[in-house]
Structure 1
Amino acid sequence: MSGTPHTVSDVMTRTVAAVGRDAPFKDVVTLMEEWKVSALPVLEGDGRVIGVVSEADLLPKEEFRDSDPDRFTQRQRLDDLAKAGAVTAGELMSAPAVTVHPTATLAQAARVMAQRRVKRLPVVNDESLLEGVVSRSDLLKVFLRGDEELAAEVRHEVVDRLFPLSADHIQVEVAEGVVTLTGWVDDNGLAGVAERLARTVEGVIDVRCHLTPMSLRDDPR
């Protein structure tokens, strides 16, 4: 995994469990258990994603199994009560599905997950056909990148580009994902830019910038 930014297609799971609209409730639960997933895409036709059924969609069946909700609860939770009586994936699913395109960046996918409060996103192409699934754990894979790989990318993408005249005077060290920049630069105004750009390298956990302008190198004070 090299280069920045990475996209969803770099980390997504391509072998995906899914169900059709008419899949029975019990089959949905069984498939989730077999695949150890918390949600399943619901497909129609040649693989078009029309919804997602999650554990949250299944729980009302148990929650309201032996209860008789009052009128206030009925008004407030119409959707959950409907799902409590659902028997197929089509009746259970949340639709339209919250999806992401394979070319989306990991930051964009993470933003969608946070905003929509979901743990997994079906990955679809321009025709809404399923290509994979990306989960929270998939997005965290960038933090498994090695320190040497991160150092090389920071050197190439940040130092060499911002400081072509003083790159030889800059050291890039990475330990446990934390980048440290030290050395002399010809334009101190770019030191802050270097720190910000280094933070955008996926897999970097933190940046410590200790770059000093060349003008101070021989300053006797």
Structure 2
Amino acid sequence: MHSTPRLVSDVMTRTVVALGSTVTFKDIVKAMRRRQISALPVVDAGHRVVGVVSEADLLPKEEFRAHDPDADVRLRRPEALARAQARTASELMTAPAVTVGADVSLARAARIMARHQVKHLPVVDDAGVLTGIVSRTDLLKVFLRTDADLAEEVRREVVGPLFPDPLEPVRVDVRDGVVTLTGRVRDTGLVPIAVRLTRAVEGVVDVESALTGPPWRPLLDPDLVEEP
């Protein structure tokens, strides 16, 4: 029923700073500072993504700079200790990289980020070649849609198909991304579906429903109705 969900390709950054495997620690820090980004993909000679270096991968260098870790730290955090000694991107990177395709929906990309606890996802084609990068901030761009745009989509994609012949016109009001549905419909069983589909519209913050059904009328026993 909905139009095609907005995709990673709609919001991703297409000009990407990538690292070769031999790029040095200091050059990585310089690139992050210059570009004001917290993670960089690492690519091989064919521009296929093989890993990601993030600020978290660089911090052990400073954390263990002035003291030797005790036996407990050596046992619990061997990867951090290895990164503290690392000099190049191939030694620092987290691999394999968590990536996403350009045709993935923003909702799915958000779930991948949450599941893997990452802030950036390299975008790759079917061969694993880097085509862009998407960040948490990019995924939030859908919430910049105007209230008028959201209202028009809800009317077209939800209200029209579900309630083509309402008892009273269904009104769609949107304020700061919150959609309010009001009106009187013939089948109240469709109201929860309308709320769910409205909430699924990209950019909707929340949904409030004041949809009601036909007016209640008492059932009268014809034998008890007085003749005029």
TM-score of the two chains, using structure 2 as the length reference: 0.91
Which piece of structure 1 moves more, 198-207 or 66-75? Answer: 66-75
1:8 is displaced (CA, Å) by 0.8
2:11 is equivalent to residue 11 of structure 1:
yes
Match of 2:222 in 1: none
Match of 1:175 in 2: 175
Match of 1:67 in 2: 67
Change (3 A) 1:168 1:102: farther
Between the aligned residues of both structures, percent identity stands at: 57
CA distance in structure 2 between the partners assigned to 1:68 and 1:119 by the alignment: 30
Secondary structure of residue in 1 paired with 2:95: coil
CA distance in structure 1 between the partners assigned to 2:22 and 2:156 by the alignment: 52
Determine which structure has more spread, i.e. the larger CA radius of gyration: 2
CA distance in structure 2 between the partners assigned to 1:167 and 1:55 by the alignment: 58
2:96 is equivalent to residue 96 of structure 1:
yes
Matched letter for residue 161 of structure 1: P
1:115 is displaced (CA, Å) by 1.2
CA distance in structure 2 between the partners assigned to 1:212 and 1:79 by the alignment: 59
1:84-123 matched pairs, under 5 angstroms = 84-123=84-123
Match of 2:163 in 1: 163
Match of 1:141 in 2: 141
Change (3 A) 1:192 1:77: same
* Structure 2 alignment gaps of length 5 or more: 220-228
Change (3 A) 1:4 1:174: farther
Residues 177, 206 of structure 1: 8 Å contact kept: yes
2:211 is equivalent to residue 192 of structure 1:
no
Matched letter for residue 177 of structure 1: G
1:3 is displaced (CA, Å) by 4.5
TM-score of the two chains, using structure 1 as the length reference: 0.94
Residues 159, 167 of structure 1: 8 Å contact kept: no
Aligned alpha-carbon RMSD (Å):
1.8
1:191 is displaced (CA, Å) by 1.1
